[in-house]
């Protein structure tokens, strides 16, 4: 007990570098699949995230708590989203994940949430791709060239035999830089190149990742081949969409959370407001696919869409894994609060 009469307990703090050292993408894919299965089996308590928009419209603060009863995990992520940030100075998404003792509520760890978000988002898309894309999918199109684009470039190759990757961005220099870095990475066993348009990127693609901050569609149905699987990652607010309505209405749509999608997913909400689909167009949640409640793909020529918003269960599961690994290896900074 401290001199002031309050209890003080050690807290382990982990940086982004710590997270990247302790959370390889292949491991995170497995962690995400287990967490989403637990969610589908009714072992997770998790409200739709609370979002506070700043009065000046510059950004938002979101709180994402989750209790994984089956795994004995409790925690939350606090994340800010400032779309106009210069990524070379401050990321557009910045976060911290707090892990709590479920028996007492005591804070036991604080983990960099920016790196957790980057890795777990791509890992969840890889899980969706594993269960929704055609097994022979080998050509990947990535729309966007930021942190999520880079993470997905790595992740999708863990679940499908990707041989060709095409990257497009509204900032051509960033697309070229990402393609160059990936081409120099021995872990990437695919030909990677930047292309001049989204249409060119999608030409012949079997798997597509949309990871942009666009408010208007960057992907159109006329560019999408039958049988394509799309991971829609970038649009997580009601007034922004990456996919045009024809793509959404013509696809089998799986979401990470039905409740969240019907509040936040602009890709779906704008298609609903346009009269192209209704809420029942959502086939199910990814967890439903994992436990066999619904099929991720009903036919070889079907276009499938995974609408990813990001869930607290994913953050807490990933951060708790990192924290446990750090304790074993003696990594991180210990402070008393």
**Which domains are delineated in the chain?**
10-116+313-336 (3.30.1780.10), 124-310 (3.40.50.720)
Q: Looking at residue 323, what is its pLDDT?
A: 98
Distance CA 284, CA 331 (A): 39
Q: Looking at residue 88, what is its pLDDT?
A: 81
Indicate the SS3 state at residue 239.
Answer: coil
Mean pLDDT, range 216-225, rounded to an integer = 97
Indicate the SS3 state at residue 82.
Answer: coil
Distance CA 92, CA 309 (A): 15
Give every CB contact of residue 67 below 8 A, 6+ residues apart in sequence. 44, 45, 46, 73, 74, 102
Which of 9-13, 90-94, 174-178 is predicted with the least confidence, judged by mean pLDDT?
90-94
Q: Are 164 and 140 in contact (CB under 8 A)?
A: yes
Give every CB contact of residue 80 below 8 A, 6+ residues apart in sequence. 59, 60, 61, 62, 93, 94, 95
Instruction: Extract the tokens encoding 13.
Output: 């703090």
Give every CB contact of residue 236 below 8 A, 6+ residues apart in sequence. 264, 265, 266, 309, 310
CA 295 to chain centre: 21
pTM beyond 0.85, yes or no: yes
Distance CA 62, CA 314 (A): 15
Distance CA 119, CA 129 (A): 15
For the stretch 202-237, what's the b/e string if a residue is b when 16 or more beta carbons lie within 10 angstroms of its beta carbon?
beebbbbbbbbbbbebbbebebbeebbbbbbbbbbb
Q: Looking at residue 189, what is its pLDDT?
A: 87
Indicate the SS3 state at residue 9.
Answer: coil
* pLDDT at residue 204 greater than cutoff 50: yes
* pLDDT at residue 261 greater than cutoff 80: yes
**Beta-carbon neighbour count of residue 113 at 10 Å?**
26
Q: Looking at residue 6, what is its pLDDT?
A: 66
* pLDDT at residue 62 greater than cutoff 70: yes
Q: Looking at residue 1, what is its pLDDT?
A: 43
Which tens digits make up the pLDDT trace of 229-248?
999 999 788 999 999 999 99
Give every CB contact of residue 14 below 8 A, 6+ residues apart in sequence. 22, 109, 110, 111, 112, 322, 323, 326, 331, 332, 333
Which run of H or E residues covers position 319?
Answer: helix 312-329
């Amino acid at each position: 007990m401290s001199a002031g009469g309050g209890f003080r307990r050690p807290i382990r703090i982990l940086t982004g570098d710590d997270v990247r050292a302790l959370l390889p993408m292949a491991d995170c894919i497995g962690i995400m699949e287990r967490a989403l299965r637990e969610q589908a089996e009714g072992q997770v308590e998790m409200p739709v995230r609370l979002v506070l928009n700043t009065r000046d419209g510059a950004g938002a603060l979101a709180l994402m708590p989750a209790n994984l009863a089956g795994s004995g995990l409790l925690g939350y992520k606090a994340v800010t989203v400032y779309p106009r940030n210069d990524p070379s100075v401050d990321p557009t998404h910045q976060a911290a994940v707090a892990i709590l003792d479920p028996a007492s509520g005591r804070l036991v760890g604080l983990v960099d949430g920016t790196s957790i978000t980057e890795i777990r988002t791509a890992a969840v898309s890889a899980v969706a791709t594993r269960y929704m894309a055609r097994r022979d999918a080998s050509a990947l199109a990535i729309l966007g060239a930021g942190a999520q684009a880079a993470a997905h470039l790595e992740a999708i190759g863990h679940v499908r035999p990707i041989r060709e990757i095409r990257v497009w961005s509204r900032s051509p220099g960033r697309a070229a830089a990402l393609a160059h870095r990936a081409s120099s990475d021995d872990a990437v066993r695919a030909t990677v190149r930047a292309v001049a348009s989204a249409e060119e990127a999608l030409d012949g693609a079997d798997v597509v990742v949309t990871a942009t901050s666009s408010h208007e569609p960057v992907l159109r149905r006329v560019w999408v081949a039958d049988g394509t699987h799309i991971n829609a990652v970038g649009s997580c607010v009601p007034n922004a969409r990456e996919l045009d309505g024809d793509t959404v209405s013509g696809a089998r749509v799986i979401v990470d959370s039905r409740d969240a999608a019907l509040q936040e997913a602009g890709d779906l909400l704008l298609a609903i407001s346009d009269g192209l689909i209704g809420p029942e167009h959502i086939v199910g949640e990814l967890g439903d696919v994992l436990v066999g409640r619904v099929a991720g793909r009903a036919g070889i020529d079907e276009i499938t869409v995974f609408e990813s918003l990001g869930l607290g269960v994913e953050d807490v599961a990933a951060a708790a894994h990192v924290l446990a690994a750090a304790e074993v290896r003696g990594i991180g900074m210990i402070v008393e609060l």
